[in-house]
């Protein structure tokens, strides 16, 4: 079968959407997916009940704001204190770093297990390689969107338990946070699709990702110290904009949306090439 045949499989878009829907179905209705959802919910319940609720009370304290300003300087974290809902400000800080970690853990099995079992080739013959690649990617994004929405809604209820008047600003900020987090997760999911094609297991794909980010941290430290003119290379790494988003309102943070979108397009193009030309 030629590459052209792979890329022009009939019903490719329909197959991709069906595959994406099936990934979401497995999470919700299969025992393994249900257990994963329960574990995820318990982890976030603890995060919301203790770090988020506790830290939110500090953000509402003027003395704590003065302390932070004195310790880190004026304007360093000022936007965190400007949030209309303190609970969501704390959630924002935690989720910016925690969800990419979740993505590395849960997106490593887009193709690895099927490739190791020898079923990936069969699936590609049934649906087409493009449909399989983009369908699995879209399915993982739907799963992560569901997880983000669940935690955002939980944060809204947490804020409402303190003050019912916060419902409207909490919903507005929640919508913007959801959009930002999904954009952040796009290149991470695309990168894990690449590693999943290389690796023989989901665990190995996650190990590849950890090694990649560790290596890039070292490379960027050397570049910033010795070759600052090459610092633009850092923009190739997923999450390069996260530190800058830390002290920003969700609406303002959308100004950096171009970066994860470009990263995702590039990574998906590489992944599609690997899928088309690789031996499944």
d(CA 221, CA 236): 15
* Residue pointed to by tokens 């249900």: 34
- Is the pLDDT score of 46 beyond 50? yes
Tens of pLDDT, residue by residue over 53-100, are: 888 888 888 777 777 776 666 666 778 888 999 999 999 999 999 999
Tens of pLDDT, residue by residue over 97-153, are: 999 999 999 999 899 888 888 888 888 888 889 999 999 999 999 999 999 999 999
Contact 249, 169 (CB under 8 A): no
Tens of pLDDT, residue by residue over 168-227, are: 999 999 999 999 999 999 999 999 999 999 998 999 999 999 999 999 999 999 999 999
**Can you give 249-274 as a three-state secondary structure string?**
CHHHHHHHCHHHHHHHHHHHHHHHHH
pTM (two decimals) = 0.91
């Amino acid at each position: 079968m030629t590459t052209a045949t792979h890329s022009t499989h009939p019903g490719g878009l329909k197959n991709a959407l069906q595959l994406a829907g099936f990934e979401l179905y497995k999470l919700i209705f299969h025992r393994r997916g249900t257990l994963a959802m329960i574990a995820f919910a318990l982890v976030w319940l603890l995060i919301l009940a203790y770090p988020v609720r506790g830290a939110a009370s500090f953000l509402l304290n003027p003395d704590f704001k003065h302390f932070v300003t004195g310790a880190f300087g004026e304007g360093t974290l000022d936007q965190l204190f400007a949030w209309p809902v303190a609970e969501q400000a704390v959630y924002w800080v935690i989720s910016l770093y925690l969800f990419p970690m979740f993505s590395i853990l849960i997106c490593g099995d887009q193709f690895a297990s099927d490739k190791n079992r020898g079923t990936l080739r069969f699936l590609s013959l049934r649906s087409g390689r493009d449909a399989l690649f983009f369908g699995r990617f879209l399915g993982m994004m739907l799963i992560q969107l569901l997880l983000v929405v669940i935690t955002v809604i939980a944060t809204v209820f947490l804020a409402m338990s303190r003050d019912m008047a916060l419902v409207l600003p909490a919903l507005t900020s929640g919508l913007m946070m959801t959009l930002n987090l999904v954009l952040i997760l796009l290149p991470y999911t695309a990168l894990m699709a690449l590693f999943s094609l290389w690796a023989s297991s989901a665990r190995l794909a996650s190990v590849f990702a950890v090694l990649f980010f560790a290596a890039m941290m070292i490379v960027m430290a050397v570049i910033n110290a010795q070759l600052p003119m090459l610092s633009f290379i850092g923009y190739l790494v997923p999450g390069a904009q996260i530190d800058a988003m830390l002290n920003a309102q969700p609406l303002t943070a959308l100004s950096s949306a171009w970066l994860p979108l470009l990263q995702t397009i590039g990574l998906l193009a590489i992944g599609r090439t690997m899928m088309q030309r690789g031996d499944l």
